[in-house]
A and B are shown apart, each in its own frame.
Chain A
Amino acid sequence: GPKVLQIPSHQIIDMGQMVTLNCDPVSNHLYFYWYKQILGQQMEFLVNFYNGKVMEKSKLFKDQFSVERPDGSYFTLKIQPTALEDSAVYFCASSIQQGAGNTLYFGEGSRLIVV
């Protein structure tokens, strides 16, 4: 079936540095999402993105976070600068459109460890 690929699968980074998480969504999908799951806690919505714009973001989407999809390439989540509390697994998802009947396809996650 359709697959969402996430790169890298794991990354360890020093606090204060920048990190970019990459997502290769399903090819004909137009809506993109990031979710965050801290170890041992539930998964939570960060942001959704369509037509080059952030449509909605949660309070977890701090000012240090940004998303973009330049020229139809990877959909990226950038954190600059990183903080210890950013350590989590970040899941990317995509859907062909929004609304009832549209499945979100999730990637396998990118585990970020900030030290």
Chain B
Amino acid sequence: GQQVQQSPASLVLQEGENAELQCNFSTSLNSMQWFYQRPGGSLVSLFYNPSGTKHSGRLTSTTVIKERRSSLHISSSQTTDSGTYLCAFDRNSNNRIFFGDGTQLVVKP
């Protein structure tokens, strides 16, 4: 079954609006990551975030391991933020990662 649930599945914003993406895990996890996938398919790692809150520019990731959830906040969205945001986690020590289906974000000018 699906081990990682991401919501929303898709999101359309006007430039300047904020976005909150959610990731919920069905099982206990060791660590998790957020990725950005460009429209062409290439992958960029955003955060490796075992626990707590991390910031990178306009992005903030908050993970609560014991509650099996993580969120990605994008502030003041820009058209270049458009793409797919993936969360992924690993359960144990072998670094095998399970990915969610992603949130497809479209930011309109």
A: residues with CB less than 8 A from B are 31, 33, 35, 37, 41-45, 48, 55-56, 89, 91, 93, 95, 98-109, 111
Contacts and interface: CB of A to CB of B under 8 A. Distances in A.
B14 interface: no
Given A43-B86, A101-B50, A107 B43 contact: yes
B102 A42 contact: yes
B94 A55 contact: yes
Given A45-B97, A45-B98, A48-B95, 10 more contacts: A31-B95, A35-B99, A42-B102, A45-B96, A55-B94, A98-B95, A103-B33, A103-B48, A107-B43, A111-B41
Contacts, number: 59
Contacts of B35: 106
A104 B97 contact: yes
Interface of B: 30-31, 33, 35, 41-45, 48, 50, 86, 88, 93-102
14 contacts: A41-B101, A42-B100, A43-B86, A43-B88, A45-B98, A48-B96, A56-B94, A93-B97, A98-B93, A100-B31, A103-B45, A108-B42, A108-B44, A109-B42
A55 B44 CA distance: 25
A42 B101 contact: yes
A24 to B, nearest CB: 15
B94 to A, nearest CB: 6
